[in-house]
Structure 1
């Protein structure tokens, strides 16, 4: 198992980064590759999960150990594969997702693409009580509040579609997602206005 990759980021694509390690380029699939934009052509350490099947081998990468731990837990839930788990991580921070599981918030969980009521209940059944112990101390305060304060994934998805309709590319939209996810905004129109402001600055 490849636990992490340490090297220079040479390329950033819409769904992956290329990390050069002593002349060997590793392609690493990420929920939001543009979180590494500030580290382009610099040495980074990316936590990785080496996904192996008979017909494929893929490296999935994460900014920190908490994201990687949640990814591995999600893979244990029936109905959620690597792409689904990565999509969840790209739309919410780890603490907010765990808080939703702990309070059995079906509505929050079904707002993610590909998660219906049945899968949401399966997530709660399989993971409730098993996620808080995996968090680092830095992330523990995030789940103390039972209500999420971050942008709702449903509103975020609607905003992304609206921005695409306005002509913005996936690359441009993904580049502002980390900042948008930290905003305490629930209304889709407000999310779009904030996004447009960030896009203008970029």
Structure 2
């Protein structure tokens, strides 16, 4: 198992990042690739997912984020793509709170999570996530960094990322008009869209 990879980010797209370490480029799928920045040194905490027809690396900014991803994978009906979509919202405390309070209405707002899966999440994870919520810096990212291009290109990248996460065109169109009013980075567009999609 690869615990983490430390290296330079070489490439970012809506589905994954490529991090270079000792001349090897690792393709890593992350909840929101645009929180990372090209040519920056990063430490990515990784989870290797192996199935008969799949061998993939998933990466996270913190060990706590990775731990929550692994917990979500234990739920029947949630695969890696679904777990990434849940984590991409960047509000793990809300997810944990919804599970602890058995708030199905909140959980079914995530793409791919229906009533049955929401109930399964509550059944499987309630009472098992308190240690993750106690971590104060869980899912923090440096919002002061403004190296990405703002405006139309950033918005297009954000929309592509939302599609990758499983959101339907009609859902994206509902929030798109609000996003057009602002000049943000790709990461900020994604976060703002997810906030609106989850309210």
Residues 161-176 of structure 1 mapped to structure 2, 5 A cutoff:
161-162=173-174, 174-176=186-188
Work out whether 1:41 is the aligned partner of 2:39.
yes
Q: Quote the residue 2:60 is aligned against.
A: 62
Task: Compare the two structures and name the one with the higher helix fraction.
Answer: 1
Residues 70-109 of structure 1 mapped to structure 2, 5 A cutoff:
70-109=68-107
Unmatched runs of 5 consecutive residues or more in structure 1:
141-156, 189-202
Q: Quote the residue 2:159 is aligned against.
A: none
Matches of 1:65 and 1:30, distance apart in 2: 13
By how many angstroms is 1:176 displaced? 2.1
Q: Deviations over 1:111-133 (max 9, x none)?
A: 11111111111100100000112
> Normalising by the residue count of structure 1, what TM-score does the alignment of the two structures yield?
0.72
Q: Which has the higher contact order (CA 8 A, sep 6+)?
A: 2
- Secondary structure of 1:34 counterpart: helix
> Normalising by the residue count of structure 2, what TM-score does the alignment of the two structures yield?
0.73
Q: Quote the residue 1:4 is aligned against.
A: 4
What is the Cα-based RMSD across aligned positions, in Å?
3.0
Contact 1:10 / 1:41 at 8 angstroms: preserved in 2? yes
Q: Deviations over 1:12-47 (max 9, x none)?
A: 11111000001000000011100003xx20210011
Matches of 2:191 and 2:179, distance apart in 1: 20
Matches of 2:171 and 2:122, distance apart in 1: 27
Unmatched runs of 5 consecutive residues or more in structure 2:
139-166
